[in-house]
Amino acid sequence: MKRVLWILLPVFIIVHGSCSKLVEVAPPVTKLTKDKVYATDIAAISVVASIYSGMSDYFLDFAGNIGTLNLYASLYTDELSYFKDPLINSNVVAFYTNKLTSTTFGSEYWAVAYGQIFNCNAALDGISNAQSLTPSVKKQLLGELKFLRAFFYYHIVNLYGDAPWVTTTDYSVNSQVARTPAIDVLRNIRNDLREARELLSDQFLDGTLLKPAIKNRYRVSTHAAAALLAKVCLMTGDWTEAETAAGDLIANTALFKLDTLNGCFLTNTPEAIWQLQTVRSYTPLEDANRFIMPAEGPSNSYPFFISSMLLNSFETGDQRKAKWIDTVRADNKLYYFPFKYKSKEASADPKEALTIFRLADIFLCRAEARMQQDKLQDAIDDINQVRHRAGLIDLTSMGKAALKDAILKERQVEMFTEFGARFYDMKRLGKIDDLMPAICQAKGITWDPDKALFPLSAIDIDRNKNLIQNKGY
């Protein structure tokens, strides 16, 4: 018996000793684990790069990415119309006729933005707990993520109204969340943006986050945070803060000034506050790719043209109509199409970049903030800066109500096909129910005030009983 035990003992030791190694499986070699991703500067930067690339990598055929607002939000209001080809994508018709539903089109922006918000939250969690990052890199990345999360929420609130305020990555929490009132979401992102302004660099950094980029403004800086803060404060009614944030950008003449009409969408224009780098060398920018109509005229592939409502809003002599809109004559009809982005060449080093924030927008934001504080002449001065560049004469003094209309009109001709600006402006200035009935009548439809918000997806409503659908859907 004793002998048997002596034989068994080494066997027992071998089996026992190897046990923990066998049970603990090593992580897969093709993927990175969380602790490695946030251990080095380059890996942490690459996580944030995935958010930028996600924003930049889209096609206009499908709504969802913020960049596609240039098409779909413009169809929804009075900026774009389309060639009535029977094979036109049904989502184009749905947005143009305001016929969005919970099961067809309209909820795409919600899903894409919350996907990006998850990425922001995951990276915020990882980077704030990271110990080995260069302090300046860590600070910049945290600022970028707070900014980016605020940016996605800004669009969610503008498109859908009240929205669940999600700040974790825990699916068990995030699948039960109820909608937070829009004003509270806006206050939350205003606070995040205040923080982001402190965290972010005042330079346009390159991919290392250690030195300035050469001739590009592809990274979020404290200036982008100021721009978004000004826009958010216009929605929350923080007029003085909106004026100051916009004013900081306008005063920074070393970095920012109004460019020529042909120059202000080029890479490294002094007008740009934040642009996105293309991540595809094989296609031009989507706006140029899909809006520039070929000489043969409109077709199923190039159906979009500027509506007569927008065309008629340009004053005589407005250079923006000449420089930012081009025409094609087909079947004895003149088609006008957006021509802010002019290059149909695909390139790894393109001359133009998708411009998210630019100084002219900020001048008009400050005009609005000043108008709201009854500083009417100051507001008119800001509008006139933008009008000069377009070759128009100065506005003369007017009352507050007239000035509000003047701001809306100036924004209409300055900001068309830029990230739903027209749709957001009409809502923010309380004019949507005044303007849309006539717009809809011209389109052959009827305006329903509930359509100021897009629908949530029926699938989301099914999967979260705390989530309430928007009225009218």
For other proteins, which is the closer residue by CB, 117 or 432? 117
Told to check if 459 binds other proteins by CB under 8 A, we report yes
Q: For the window 26-45, what string marks contact with other proteins as x by the rule CB under 8 A?
A: -xx-xxxxx--x----xx-x
- Under the criterion CB under 8 A, does residue 132 sit at the interface with other proteins? no
The tokens describing 289, both together, are 């790719």
Q: Does 166 bind other proteins (CB under 8 A)?
A: yes
**Helices assigned H by DSSP within 269-373:** 286-291, 308-311, 319-323, 359-372
How do strand 325-330 and strand 333-338 relate by DSSP bridges? antiparallel
Q: Does 119 bind other proteins (CB under 8 A)?
A: yes
Query: Taking CB under 8 A as the rule, does residue 99 contact other proteins?
Result: yes
Q: Which of 184, 315, 326, 460 binds other proteins (CB under 8 A)?
A: 460
Q: Are 276 and 353 in contact (CB under 8 A)?
A: yes
Cα Rg of the chain (Å, integer): 26
Cβ–Cβ under 8 Å, residues 101 and 459: no
Residue 19 interacts with other proteins (CB under 8 A)? no
Asked if 281 touches other proteins (CB under 8 A), the answer is yes
The answer to whether residue 181 forms part of the interface with other proteins (CB under 8 A) is no
Which tokens go with 54? 């996600």
SS3 214: coil
Structure tokens at 41: 């500067």
Element (H, E) at 185: helix 182-199
Q: Which one, of 180, 225, 231, 242, lies nearest residue 425 by Cα? A: 231
Q: 186: exposed, middle or buried (C-beta count within 10 Å: 0-12, 13-18, 19+)? A: buried
Q: Does 114 bind other proteins (CB under 8 A)?
A: yes
Tokens encoding 230: 């000004």
Give the angle subtended at the CA of 319 by the CAs of 317 and 321, to the nearest 5°. Answer: 95
Question: Could you say whether residue 280 binds other proteins (CB under 8 A)?
Answer: yes
Binding to other proteins by CB under 8 A, coded x per residue (else -) over 240-279, reads -------------------------------------xxx
Residue 131, interface with other proteins (CB under 8 A)? no
Amino acid at position 358, single letter: R
Structure tokens at 17: 């000793």
- CB-wise, 266 or 380, nearer to other proteins? 266
Amino acid at 246: A
**444 is a contact residue toward other proteins (CB under 8 A):** no
| Candidate list 88, 118, 262, 376; residue touching other proteins; CB under 8 A | 118
Q: Which of 8, 9, 13, 111 is the binder for other proteins (CB under 8 A)?
A: 111
* Window 42 to 81, contacts with other proteins (CB under 8 A): 42-43, 45-47, 49-50, 52-54, 56-57
If one asks whether residue 311 binds other proteins (CB under 8 A), the answer comes out as: no
Cα 164 from chain centre: 18
Tell me the two tokens of residue 266: 């080029």
Token digits of residue 248:
């900081």
Shortest Å distance, C-beta 444 to other proteins: 11
Nearest CA-CA partner of 308 in 121, 471, 462, 438? 438
Q: Which of 348, 399, 401, 430 lies at the binding interface for other proteins (CB under 8 A)?
A: 348
Q: Does 176 bind other proteins (CB under 8 A)?
A: yes
13 binds other proteins (CB under 8 A): no
| Residue 136 within binding range of other proteins, rule CB under 8 A | no
Nearer to other proteins, 219 or 342 (CB): 219
How many residues of this chain interact with other proteins, rule: CB under 8 A? 70
Question: Which one of residues 134, 167, 174, 268 is an interface residue with other proteins (CB under 8 A)?
Answer: 174
Using the minimum distance from each CB to other proteins, give the nearer residue, 160 or 363. 160
Q: Is 209 left (phi over 0), alpha (psi -120 to 50) or beta?
A: left
Identity of the residue, 160 or 339, whose beta carbon is nearer to other proteins in the bound complex: 160
| Cβ neighbours of residue 375 closer than 8 Å, sequence gap 6 or more | none
Contact (Cβ atoms closer than 8 angstroms) between residue 107 and residue 91: no
CB nearer to other proteins: pick between 372 and 470:
470
- By the rule CB under 8 A, 117 interacts with other proteins: yes
Residue carrying structure tokens 């605020």 = 150
- Contact positions toward other proteins, by CB under 8 A? 25, 27-28, 30-34, 37, 42-43, 45-47, 49-50, 52-54, 56-57, 86, 90, 93, 97, 99, 101-104, 110-111, 114-115, 117-119, 121-122, 164, 166, 169, 171, 174-177, 206-207, 213, 216, 218-219, 277-282, 348, 457-465, 467
